[in-house]
Amino acid sequence: MAELTYRQAVARGIAQEMDRDPTVYFIGEDVAAAGGVFKTTEGLQDRFGPERVRDTPISEEAITGAVMGAAMNGLRPIAEIMFSDFFATCWDIVANQIAKARYMTDGQITLPLVIRAANGGGARFGAQHSQAMENWAMAIPGLKVVAPSNAHDVVGLLAASVRDDDPVVFLEQKSLYASRQEVPEGEIVGELGKAAVVREGADITVVALAAMVPRALEAAETLAGEGIDVEVVDLRSLVPLDVTTVLNSVVKTSRMVTVEENPRLCGWGAEVTSIVTEEAFYDLDAPTLRITTPHIPLPSADTLEDLAMPSAETIASELRRVGNG
């Protein structure tokens, strides 16, 4: 058992799959000798050489186009888009080409590729480098969307993503990079589309993703001292979406709150809420509640960014209202 940071888990997950499968290779901006702008890929080029770990020009279109062609020809590439915001510059390739090629060729072409990106706020990078863009990808048929909340899941879900025959958008919440967790030695392979109940509870179900999971857990511990027992479900992936785990939890607790970093309009919590309302309406004892970021560009000033993003204190306050309602 070794203690890994979330950023170290990225390198371990990539290395595990590159060791196992010679068709896996890795490209991106400053990912080789420099080890990545967030230091998530340190040592990979030294270990696997410049043919399998290589830097690219500053062109997201070139990166995504290259891995699409490689995947169509039998490789399993991993690409890094430095900030998830930069998907906006290559969205045609991702949404109109990568996401649709397998379907439009009736499965004659598969695209087993992973596109990683640092995602979300909390690091004071401002509106153009702090967006949580999982909803962008979730809305495109043909893409799988993964967003781990801890180091163990980074390794396991990255492995599962590399082994999957569909394109996967793998989002690493940048404010989690320094977080630590004990991770077992040996091969770790997760399961896409399988949520985790990370805290058992009886009174309220909280459904969260990525950085909102530890904040929800902190809020749950606060409320435990007040006699409100909160269950926390870590979705881990949005596509596939583990509806069964969410519904089973809601049936048990009869109350549900979603916590998402995304701006409120069209957030993933709205989809989860819609499903729960359709499938478990008569099991609910209170209206569902969504906790989100306001529909604004995220500020770079620390106090304003903290105010905009859901905090453990905000989550606890809203859960208190639901639990006492």
Residue 1: pLDDT band (50, 70, 90) is confident
Has residue 191 been placed in a domain?
Answer: no
* Structural domain count of the chain: 2
| Residue 46's CATH number | 3.40.50.970
- Rounded average pLDDT over 173-200: 97
* Integer Cα distance of 174 and 149 in angstroms: 11
Among residues 183, 212, 233, which one ends one of the domains? 183
* pLDDT of amino acid 325: 63
Catalytic residue among 12, 76, 102, 129: 129
Q: How much of the chain exceeds pLDDT 70, in percent?
A: 100
Q: What pTM, to 2 d.p., does this model score?
A: 0.97
Side-chain half-sphere of 320: how many Cα atoms within 13 Å? 13
CB 64 within 8 A of CB 78: no
| Residue 247's CATH number | 3.40.50.920
Range of the domain at 86: 2-183
Same domain? 76 vs 38: yes
Does the annotation count 129 as an active-site position? yes
- DSSP secondary structure string for all residues of 122-147: SSS--TTS----HHHHHTSTT-EEE-
Condensed to tens digits (0 to 9), the pLDDT of residues 22-65 reads: 999 999 999 999 999 999 999 999 999 999 999 999 999 999 99
Provide the β-strand partners of residue 173: 119
